[in-house]
Amino acid sequence: MPTQDVSIARYFAGLPDPRVDRTKKHSLGDILVITLCAVICGADSWAEVETFGKAKLAWLRTFLALPNGIPSHDTFHRVFARLDPAAFGRCVAAWMAAACDAADLRHVAIDGKACRSAPRATFSGCLHLVSAWAAENRLILGQQAVADGSHEIAAVPELLRVLDLKGAVVTLDAAGCQKAIASQIRHQGGDYLLAVKGNQPALHRAVRAAFDRACGADFAGVEHDTHEAVEGGHGRHEERYVTVIYGPQGLPPEWPDVAAVVLVGREREVKGERADAAHYYVTSHAGTAAQLGGLIRRHWAVENELHWCLDVAFREDANRTAAGHGGANLGLIRRVAASLLQQDAGEGSVKAKRLKAALDGDYLVQALRGFAED
């Protein structure tokens, strides 16, 4: 009789089951929960998910009925290969959105990652997953796989459609600096903050010209704000200067609701080697220079806190799962697992926390709850 208070299966209650009725020996909810538990605890393949389930059968039965025991690895493989990744993504998005703390300003960082060992016919030659990362909450909000024969840019609008963007600022690198993407973010109630580079030459020239004019006039009569920060340590010295111009003139009119343009200058010295760089951004959010500079810097949390974690702690680049929708769906499970383990503020790496979850059932239950009791 189930006794543990682990109710995550409710978020998957409306998920369409891809199997015909005569093959449903195991409930879809049980399959999903077992897989998530197994991946949190270190499983990286369907055979390892089955091994985890059989080893933890008695514990799993404290909150899952499991009338026919643990599914075989073939069953896990077939179900995840056929499971609709868009519908699965919507269920996960609803769960993760509910887990996010309410805030006046939510930061959603969007970026893609290649799964090098899972071959697919995408622009990168392998399974390529675009993620939406709640930078302040360290939670995955959604994922979209790049379709065969397609590019990362085409996946971004599909990913945005499953997200609640009201009150959010969405950051993307230069590849995502597209008029259609900016318009979609605004239509869904969010603000955008996009890196501007040479792939948008007219916009790039106009943003640079706005700063050139302002500098030429010593910013007289130009509504603007500035912020600077200095960091150092271990032979590194870095200075960052953020300048924001509000209501800039001369930008291409098709860019929607532009409130400001941003220039971030970096002066970096490492062991006597000096490097300078300047980067431009366009945004619909009229924040302060300190706030916009913070959002720009925190955008790379999706790389440092999610993608790096997936490769180091979950060995994603070595995972070959690619058949059907299996690679994308297992990739989303890994991202949920990484999100849940990063909610633990205690010491230790995510890899160490996976081991702890495998050894300590109470810790695993806390992970499934998002460490709400801490």
pLDDT in tens, 105-142: 589 999 999 999 999 999 999 999 999 999 988 999 99
pTM of the shown model: 0.91
Q: What pLDDT is attached to residue 5?
A: 53
Provide the 8-state DSSP code for 264.
E
Q: Record the tokens describing residue 348, joined without a space.
A: 């230790």
Residue 74 CB-half CA count within 13 A: 1
3 state SS of 324:
coil
What confidence tens digit (pLDDT) does each residue in 1-41 have? 445 555 677 888 889 999 998 889 999 999 999 999 999 99
Residue 67's CB is within 10 A of a number of other CB atoms, namely: 10
Buried b (16+ CB within 10 A) or exposed e, 222-238: bebbebeeeeeeeeeee
The answer to whether the CB of 290 falls within 8 A of the CB of 105 is no
Total residues found in the chain within this entry: 374
- Taking alpha carbons only, the member of 322, 335, 329 closest to residue 79 is 329
What's the per-residue H, E or C state across 185-206?
A: HHHCCCEEEEEECCCCHHHHHH
Instruction: Identify the DSSP state of 142.
Output: E
